[in-house]
């Protein structure tokens, strides 16, 4: 039953493609964050000067002086420079925070996507656990008559996969653990330890950042968390690879 859903060759292709994508994407995201931070640092002084000049012009313009308190005094003492500097630093911190948040959100999304692919690889190798997950779901006689039993079971499995995706990252991780029938904490990766509590915190942090809730988050924080998320993606793939003794293969051109 459902023999056509067993496709070790496709699983081997997906294994190689996902492993390459994890490595390449992590390097790309980290490089971009480091680059943007350097750009912001280099732009600080020119922006300070530009913002000070803009504020000076506004305080000197008769049509806009009404919007400032004691503009003539600020111009005379040069205090407008301090006000401009505060504004510049506020905006730069906002840019850095936005970039850091974007990096984490992207990495979290990548982990979800890679976990879906990892689960698909497991499904292509061994469909039996998935049949157990849908064992209590009924299939109508009409469905079997119209689509055959195999096609009806495949529809149920696809519906189960879709429902799990909607429940979020942690539910999919739990599902992987059930498929492997072992703890997912132990890793064959060097210098890596799966931390369920940290993964949960990052899942919640991603939600907060995506909804623009105020969170103090720096590029340094983001770099540590992003590296962890990509390492976690590789960790999950590694677990499935060794569970089923898989070997990668390059997809024919």
Q: Residue 20 above 80 pLDDT? A: yes
205 in a structural domain: yes
Distance of alpha carbon 229 from alpha carbon 202, whole angstroms: 9
198 in a structural domain: yes
Distance of alpha carbon 101 from alpha carbon 33, whole angstroms: 10
Helices assigned H by DSSP within 67-79: 71-77
213 in a structural domain: yes
Contact (Cβ atoms closer than 8 angstroms) between residue 178 and residue 120:
no
Q: Greater confidence, 160 or 111? A: 111
| Residue 169: both structure tokens together | 């990252």
User: What pLDDT is attached to residue 241?
Assistant: 94
253 in a structural domain: no
Domain total in the chain: 1
User: What pLDDT is attached to residue 173?
Assistant: 93
Distance of alpha carbon 217 from alpha carbon 199, whole angstroms: 17
92 in a structural domain: no
69 in a structural domain: no
Q: Greater confidence, 54 or 183? A: 54
Per-residue pLDDT, averaged over 134-146, amounts to: 53
pTM of the predicted protein model: 0.84
10 in a structural domain: yes
User: What pLDDT is attached to residue 144?
Assistant: 45
Contact (Cβ atoms closer than 8 angstroms) between residue 101 and residue 223:
no
86 in a structural domain: no
Q: Which of 147, 153, 114 is nearest to 130 (CA)?
A: 153
Query: Based on the number of CB atoms within 10 Å of its own CB, is 120 exposed (0-12), middle (13-18) or buried (19 or more)?
Result: middle
- Is 211 in a helix, a strand, or coil? coil
Tell me the pLDDT tens digit for each residue of 195-221. Answer: 999 999 999 999 999 887 767 889 999
Distance of alpha carbon 41 from alpha carbon 220, whole angstroms: 14
Q: Residue 121 above 50 pLDDT? A: yes
Distance of alpha carbon 81 from alpha carbon 235, whole angstroms: 51
User: What pLDDT is attached to residue 196?
Assistant: 94
Contact (Cβ atoms closer than 8 angstroms) between residue 75 and residue 130:
no
Of the listed ranges 12-16, 57-61, 123-127, 160-164, the one predicted with least confidence: 160-164
Residue 139, domain extent:
3-32+102-243
Tell me the pLDDT tens digit for each residue of 36-90. Answer: 999 999 999 999 999 999 999 999 999 998 899 999 999 999 999 999 999 999 9
User: What pLDDT is attached to residue 221?
Assistant: 93
Contact (Cβ atoms closer than 8 angstroms) between residue 170 and residue 200:
yes
Distance of alpha carbon 240 from alpha carbon 235, whole angstroms: 9
- Phi, psi (deg, nearest 5) at residue 100: -60, -45
């Amino acid at each position: 039953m459902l023999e056509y859903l067993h496709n070790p060759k496709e699983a081997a292709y997906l294994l190689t493609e996902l492993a390459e994508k994890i490595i390449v994407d992590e390097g790309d995201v980290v490089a971009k964050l480091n680059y943007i931070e350097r750009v912001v640092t280099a732009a600080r002084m020119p922006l300070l000067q530009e913002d000070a000049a803009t504020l000076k012009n506004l305080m000197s313009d008769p049509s806009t002086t009404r919007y400032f308190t004691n503009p003539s005094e600020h111009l005379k003492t040069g205090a407008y420079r301090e006000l401009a500097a505060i504004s510049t630093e506020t905006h730069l911190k906002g840019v850095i925070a936005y970039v850091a948040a974007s990096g984490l959100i992207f990495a979290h999304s990548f982990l979800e996507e890679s976990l879906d692919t990892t689960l698909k690889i497991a499904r292509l190798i061994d469909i039996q656990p998935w049949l157990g997950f849908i064992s209590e779901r009924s299939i109508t006689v009409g469905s079997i008559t119209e689509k055959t039993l195999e096609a009806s079971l495949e529809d149920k499995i696809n519906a189960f996969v879709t429902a799990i995706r909607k429940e979020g990252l942690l539910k999919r991780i739990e599902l992987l653990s059930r498929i492997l029938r072992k703890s997912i904490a132990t890793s064959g990766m060097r210098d890596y330890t799966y931390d369920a509590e940290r993964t949960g915190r990052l899942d919640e942090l991603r939600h907060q950042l995506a909804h623009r809730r105020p969170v103090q988050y720096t590029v340094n924080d983001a770099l540590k968390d992003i590296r962890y998320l990509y390492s976690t993606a590789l960790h999950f793939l590694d677990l499935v690879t060794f569970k089923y003794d898989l070997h990668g293969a390059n997809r024919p051109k």
